[in-house]
Structure 1
């Protein structure tokens, strides 16, 4: 998991980032304010590869891969915890096991998780299994966990990306070998997930991300395996659209926002050539209109995250080289996607 930025039901933002020994968390003291509390360390030895899913109720579901040493050797399992209120402690971590409960060697090959909530409020957790396919485990709306199920698939590389539309229709993208990404989706809210056609994507592992760009439509992003260029794709589009700009690293952060009264998608990524972050905005679902990247922030800033504050303004967060949280907010008195100066929040 890179840095994640979430808005709770009370309008305050929370930033999460993996650190040695667990997770660091920063929380806004008030919605839209300049002061934050943190970092607060959520101690979880062996925790890595964390993803976070948030539902309409504002609850944050944290799912991570945990590696520990036991009397019988290394052990791997998936763990889950929930934060019900902004700034409050998490629940205890609950083990979800792996798709391979009786084979420790296979369990070691379990990939990083992805997670999303569907229309019923059920949480689904996805991983690449030891056979190169996808396995999933579902927590029903009452909190009961079902068994791991095999969603099939093949040659999955890792870096799964999952999300739900505002009406709760879930999609999963799994970068795979031979120039394809596998896709599962719910045809309508509450329907059983089904395998879609493969997406033409020669994607780098761990570069996929997704955001809802219009009601009911999710746009998926990834980096080309050779060039590192960002591409965008959504259903009913014949081919992935290039997003221009220099090559970068990691997934792109994306959020849908209003810019100058227009429905836009705002993007941020780590530009390896400029050595800093770059941001862009374009009309939602109109990549052909052009995407122009603007460098921002200090040298070495990395792992960008985007969110909307309680007033609908864009907030960009990142980490500095010395582990401090950097935050920049959208200016409301200027045209275009103008950001205020970066605020350095605290040490990690």
Structure 2
């Protein structure tokens, strides 16, 4: 992060300071998670040289309510990237008692001066001490993590040096009071510039501008001997950390943030971007190891949050800010006794960052269309595990779930889009990153696979390429696709390109080849586009911007898609969801600053759609996409867990417009689970009216919930069945084999 960040008042106290004190509901839930799970989970402690396998789930556990399980490894470029861009996911994971390890690729040494960037505070003549400043940042991080885990920033750590698989050494810190919380310091040299072309950097190492990148050891580290890594050694070192900790969830930054308008600098810090590319390479290498659990990858937006609406509600944003103030050492009390200082004073001038304490966004995997029905009653759910597309299937309404089964082909990015063809076959779309033998070969393409017969095996992956044809390595920021299918079975894929406009490719005939990329225009699109087809066969496509939503409509099958049309809808926080509803399409999104789910019904008798007044779906806020099916909504609740409501939002007065109408006194009740998850939930309505929701837990397992069809009684009077794991845990060896009936993969 930039270190020229305005003093703020010290934090009033950690939320878990004393369980006997009156606590907000979110905190009570976090404390409950600790009580329920921390004593039962194994601990992987690299520093002490031993580990434990993932807990084996008993067969009868499938009917028990899901709680947060698994292990998390976060890999970031700099100390504080986790606090700014991965919280509150981070603090909530720690609160549940799951194993949490954060890996810092660089020391974040900057200019070596641990003072706020302010003319009256800076001393240009003061000597730079990069080792000391890096140590101060370590002290601040340890304090923030200790506070998140124990309520006290002074909780003790054990620090040790360990050899890495790359031939160097890393520092590993273990929180003694909560030994499942570990910090790993790789201590590589940072770029010391947001965008400057400095060869001695992760970017220079990735682009082969230097043969090796050296270390920047901190002043207090137990690592004594400097070292350097070649590109391959750096990948080995990171993969070795993954092998030690055996995560089920990997969190990292965005490897493809795209370039600023005009093709200039990247939208993000170069260390964030190229550090994430090293993590991509390391996860691909780690995926080839045996005996590990399945894992998912979640990518986070960093600097681009500055230009987007706030996501978090005020209480959550203040909680996040408190940990940042601890890291920034805003009170200047010498609690740590380190000559280097007890935190990062550069951050103390603006601990909110550029509004980052109010934001958290995923750059991949926010779609809600990864589950669908094939032949009546048979459900299919998709997610990327171990860099490969995985699927689960349920044979019928009373049948059991099976999976995960892995399709052939590696390099798949987080996120999947499932589409049903008229005969009941399923097509799955995603994007794939090719690392390439040279830096210029790095790039992302859109791919898809289709079942040969309803309920049968999937055919080979086929490539639709990318709408970005220049500067592939720098502009591979295409979104995940939205997919529509017309009555004849002709598929159309829509993506946001790196210029943030909308593009499409459509089949020339059902089952045939796709035509060329077409441009649909738009400007400043964010996130993934969404699409749905109403009862009259009209196709609707929507994409969010930083201030509203743009629309495109196809008035009849075979007609050209019109738009973009301004909708006049209010600003949302990012991901959209769309579901057909009678003669229209219902949109769901979240309102800035509260995270409340809002909805509107779009109808399209004319080229441009009309919208009913926006209504709110109750609840205590949250963030991320919302899965919708019939009366069921599923999304991230205020506590970060997966929550559901089983009634439609309050109906507003008839008419059109963009104003927001609050839900009535009978607003939907959101029921929160005890499970944290990745991405966004999906939901499907079955013919009998039952709605099924699915979410991917931090354990990389599919978890499902069924809501009964509404009868004469109010829907909310009967709670849905609890979230539970769809399939009992399986080892990698049991599930590593690909779909055996799949044909050999066809490479682009």
TM-score normalized by structure 1? 0.86
Rounded Cα–Cα distance in structure 2 between residues aligned with 1:199 and 1:53: 29
After TM superposition, the structure 1 = structure 2 runs for residues 209-220 of structure 1, keeping only pairs within 5 Å, are 209-214=577-582, 216-220=583-587
Report the CA distance between 1:342 and its aligned residue.
4.0
* CA distance in 1 between partners of 2:422 and 2:593 (Å): 38
Check whether the contact 1:8–1:85 (CA below 8 A) recurs between aligned residues. no
Residue 555 of structure 2 corresponds to residue 180 of structure 1:
no
Q: Say if 2:505 and 2:514, in contact at 8 Å, map to a contact too.
A: yes
Q: Which residue in 1 is equivalent to 2:9?
A: none
Instruction: Label 1:225 to 1:85 Cα distance change in 2 as closer, same or farther (>3 A).
Output: farther
Residues 310, 278 of structure 1: CA spacing in aligned structure 2 closer, same or farther, 3 A cutoff? closer
Aligned counterpart in structure 2 of residue 40 of structure 1, from 398, 405, 412: 405
1:203 is paired with a residue whose SS is coil
CA distance in 2, matches of 1:187, 1:9: 28
1:275 aligned to which of 628, 641, 644: 641
Task: Decide whether aligned partners of structure 1 residues 37 and 76 sit closer, same or farther in structure 2, where only a CA change above 3 A counts.
Answer: same
Higher alpha-carbon deviation: 270-279 or 36-45: 270-279
Aligned length: 336
Alignment check: 8 A CA contact 1:14 1:86 kept: no
In structure 2, the CA distance between the partners of 1:251 and 1:283, relative to structure 1 (3 Å rule), is: closer
Task: Tell me the TM-score normalised to structure 2 length.
Answer: 0.42
The 5 A counterparts of 1:39-78 are 39-48=404-413, 49-72=415-438, 73-78=441-446
By how many angstroms is 1:5 displaced?
2.5
**Against the structure 1 CA distance between its residues 46 and 284, is the aligned structure 2 distance closer, same or farther, given a 3 Å change threshold?**
farther
SS in 1 for 2:626: strand
1:229 corresponds to: 596
* Contact 1:109 1:130 survives alignment (8 Å): yes
Whether contact under 8 Å (2:431, 2:447) holds in the other structure is yes
- The verdict on how the C-alpha distance between 1:84 and 1:169 changes in structure 2, with shifts beyond 3 A counting, is farther
Counterpart mapping for 1:80-91 below 5 A: 80-85=448-453, 87-91=455-459
8 Å contact from structure 1 (residues 118, 169) kept in 2:
no
- Per the alignment, residue 468 of structure 2 pairs with 100
* Distance in 2, Cα, partners of 1:344 & 1:42: 21
Residues 119, 167 of structure 1: 8 Å contact kept: no
1:23 aligned to 2:374? no
**Superposed CA offset, 1:299-340 (max 9, x none):** 325643222335332222223332332223234698425323
1:321 match = 698
Cα gap change, 1:146 to 1:7, in 2 (>3 Å): same
CA deviation after TM superposition for structure 1 residue 34, in Å: 4.5
CA drift at 1:105: 4.3
**Structure-2 change in CA distance of 1:20 and 1:249 (3 Å):** farther
* Greater relative CO (CA pairs within 8 A, separation 6+): 2
Kindly name which structure, 1 or 2, has the bigger radius of gyration based on alpha carbons. Answer: 2
Root-mean-square deviation (CA, aligned residues, Å) is: 2.7
Residue-by-residue CA offset, 1:24-44 (whole Å, 9 max, x unaligned): 21111x311252211112243
1:307 and 2:684 correspond: yes
CA 1:189/1:145 → structure 2, altered by over 3 Å: closer, same or farther? closer
SS at 1:277 equivalent = strand
Q: Distance in 2 between matches of 1:197 and 1:276?
A: 32
- 1:340 aligns with 721
Matched, 1:203 2:572: yes
Structure 1 residue 285: Cα displacement:
5.9
Structure 1 residues 2-54: Cα deviation after superposition (integer angstroms, max 9, x where no partner)? 563221114211222222222221111x3112522111122432212322222
Q: What residue is the counterpart of 1:6 in the other structure? A: 372
- Unpaired stretches in structure 2, ≥5 consecutive residues: 1-364, 603-609, 653-660, 731-748
Instruction: Note the C-alpha offset of 1:266.
Output: 2.2
Contact 2:578 2:586 in 1 (8 A): yes
Question: C-alpha separation between the residues in 2 aligned to 1:333 and 1:150?
Answer: 43
Q: 1 or 2, which has the higher strand percentage?
A: 1
Q: Are residues 1:252 and 2:626 paired? A: yes
Q: Deviations over 1:75-122 (max 9, x none)?
A: 211111113545422111111111123542465132222111234432
Of 127-136 and 336-345, deviating more is 336-345
- Secondary structure in structure 2 of the residue aligned to 1:78: strand
**3-state DSSP of counterpart to 2:406:** strand
Contact 1:120/1:190 (<8 A) preserved: no
Inter-partner Cα distance in structure 1 for 2:703 and 2:522: 39
Alpha-carbon shift at residue 234 of structure 1 (Å)? 2.7
CA distance in structure 1 between the aligned counterparts of 2:526 and 2:648, rounded to whole angstroms: 30
2-structure distance, mates of 1:95, 1:54: 19
User: Higher mean Cα deviation, 51-60 or 61-70?
Assistant: 51-60
Would the alpha carbon gap of residues 297 and 152 (structure 1) be closer, same or farther in structure 2, given more than 3 Å must change? same
Deviates more, 1:120-129 or 1:1-10: 1-10
**Taking structure 1 as reference, are residues 332 and 97 closer, same or farther at Cα in structure 2, changes over 3 Å only?**
closer
Cα 1:188–1:106 shift into 2, 3 Å = farther
Moved more, 192-201 or 138-147: 192-201
2:707 aligns with 330
After TM superposition, give the deviation of residue 61 of structure 1 in Å.
2.1
Could you give the per-residue CA deviations for residues 125-152 of structure 1, whole angstroms, max 9, x where no partner exists? Answer: 1111222211111113331210001111
Larger CA deviation: 184-193 vs 88-97: 184-193
Aligned to 2:299: none
